Amino acid sequence: MVAPALAAIAQQESAEMADTMRSNGKIYVVVAVILTILAGLILYVARLDRKITRLEKGE
Amino acid sequence: MPKNWWKILCVVLLAYTVIAGLLFPVPALRQLQETIRNLYFHVCMWFAMMILFTVSVVHSIRFLSTLDLKQDIKAMNYASTGVVMGLLGYATGAIWASYTWADPNNPAYASFGSIVREPKLIGAAMALLIYFAYFVLRSSIIDIDKKARVSAVYNIFAYAMLFPSIWIIPRLLPSLHPGQEGNPALNYNDIDARMRLVFYPAVIGWTLLGVWITTLKIRLNLLKEKKWMNA
């Protein structure tokens, strides 16, 4: 997210996109990080879901 | 397993949103550049909030016609998750705006003034505060039937207030917030076809996540009620 901040100052040229991160492959690191966070949150929610299902069946 | 198909769909759509949202091509706009990708995150939060609030008010109306307390529990929980998504939308909007519209040459306190006078931000804050008041109202009434009835009526007014404060008035006033001419994200001509490919699934994915979390809260609430009554 640093790229947009820097690019915002250099506004006179045509829109600068984050091609650097894409060209050196680091964007995939960002994707991996976000997917990991998402996976962690989803697993947490799924675990809660299973716990509640078990409580409901227990009655 | 088939009963929970929508939860799996939610996970698939969210994973797609993150991967495609960051890697697929987007139009290059001068002031936004790559941050346009926030459409799949910030804007989706508001869309999900609107859908959750709609479900909430439908349950409130159903409560008023059936007086079934289960509907009241559902209405409250959908409103609760809706508020959370609204807050996330507000926070992410503040971050996005500070990197795009806010003039980097202005010291922080000066640009704060220009942001705070922004009609859409005031409208959104107003709408969220009205929903906070819904929860304050609920906690102020002890009798559960009265609480349910009064808060169901309030919910309807709160929902109605969403439209003038977030959608109508901000579009009539001069504003920096995107979407002045017509509806920015839903207008077919305004949104780039490449973005539509990720945006529509993203809205569904984030909404389904909101619904999943809400159904868990509702089930927990109903379990507690059952335990309470059987005690």
ipTM for the assembly: 0.76
- B31 shares contact with chain A (CB less than 8 Å): yes
The rounded percent of chain B whose pLDDT value lies above 70 is 85
Indicate if the pLDDT at residue B23 is higher than 80: yes
Give the pLDDT of residue B96: 82
- A6 shares contact with chain B (CB less than 8 Å): no
- Lowest-pLDDT range of B19-23, B135-139, B159-163, B182-186: B182-186
Tell me: the pLDDT tens digits for B111-133? 666 667 788 888 999 999 999 99
- B194 shares contact with chain A (CB less than 8 Å): no
Alpha-carbon distance B207 to B226, whole Å? 28
Total CB pairs under 8 A between chain A and B: 68
pLDDT averaged over consecutive 10-residue blocks of chain A (59 residues)? Answer: 48 59 73 92 95 88
Structure tokens, B28: 């290059």
Alpha-carbon distance B119 to B30, whole Å? 23
What 3-state class would DSSP assign to B143? coil
Alpha-carbon distance B8 to B13, whole Å? 9
Torsion region of B33: left, alpha or beta (phi above 0 gives left; psi -120 to 50 gives alpha): left
Closest-CA residue of chain A to B7: A46
Torsion region of B84: left, alpha or beta (phi above 0 gives left; psi -120 to 50 gives alpha): alpha
Alpha-carbon distance A28 to B151, whole Å? 47
- A55 shares contact with chain B (CB less than 8 Å): yes
CB contact under 8 A, B33 and A18: yes
Predicted TM-score (pTM) of the model is: 0.85
Structure tokens, B124: 């959104």
- B224 shares contact with chain A (CB less than 8 Å): no
Q: Are B208 and B9 in contact (CB under 8 A)?
A: yes
Indicate the residue of B104, B213, B216 with minimum beta-carbon distance to A8: B104
The mean per-residue pLDDT over the stretch B177-202 comes to 68
Tell me: the pLDDT tens digits for B41-69? 999 999 999 999 999 999 999 999 999 99
What 3-state class would DSSP assign to B12? helix
How many CB atoms are closer than 10 A to CB B166? Answer: 22
The mean per-residue pLDDT over the stretch B211-219 comes to 96
